[in-house]
Amino acid sequence: SQQGEEDPQALSIQEGENATMNCSYKTSINNLQWYRQNSGRGLVHLILIRSNEREKHSGRLRVTLDTSKKSSSLLITASRAADTASYFCATDAGNFNKFYFGSGTKLNVKP
């Protein structure tokens, strides 16, 4: 299956620390996206990285993509309690009509 898989499944850190989450996938992609989901809510798009990009930044977020290893990482720097949420990677199926989500990393940032 194409589905991305995140690790760790859960991560607990102190406010101010950095949080790193990883995503692995199985087949070729056009792009990879990261989403955040607060408990019981919808998904919020965070950042997209194209298959020909290796790194992308957006505010406190840094995403890397290694297509040779079929993996991506999301780094949240200087975490805040408000960053507490589940984070998912999503990959396309090569045609933008179908997207696969991983199981997510549940991040808990302790104040």
Partner 1 sequence: EPEVTQTPSHQVTQMGQEVILRCVPISNHLYFYWYRQILGQKVEFLVSFYNNEISEKSEIFDDQFSVERPDGSNFTLKIRSTKLEDSAMYFCASRANYGTYEQYFGPGTRLTVT
Footprint on this chain of partner 1 (rule: CB under 8 A): 3, 30-31, 33, 35, 41-45, 48, 88, 90, 92-93, 95-104
Report how far residue 6's alpha carbon sits from residue 66's, in angstroms, rounded to the nearest whole number: 15
List the one residue out of 29, 41, 42 whose CA is nearest residue 2.
29
DSSP string, 15-49: TTS-EEEEEE-SS--SEEEEEEE-TTS-EEEEEEE
**Residue 77 Cβ, how far from partner 1 at the closest point, in Å?**
22
**Residue 50 Cβ, how far from partner 1 at the closest point, in Å?**
8
- Compare residues 15 and 37 and give the one whose CB is closer to partner 1: 37
- Compare residues 42 and 59 and give the one whose CB is closer to partner 1: 42
Report how far residue 19's alpha carbon sits from residue 28's, in angstroms, rounded to the nearest whole number: 26
- Compare residues 36 and 84 and give the one whose CB is closer to partner 1: 36
**Residue 38 Cβ, how far from partner 1 at the closest point, in Å?**
10
- Compare residues 21 and 90 and give the one whose CB is closer to partner 1: 90
**Residue 41 Cβ, how far from partner 1 at the closest point, in Å?**
6
Cα–Cα distances in Å, from 81 out to 17, 38, 111?
Answer: 11, 12, 6
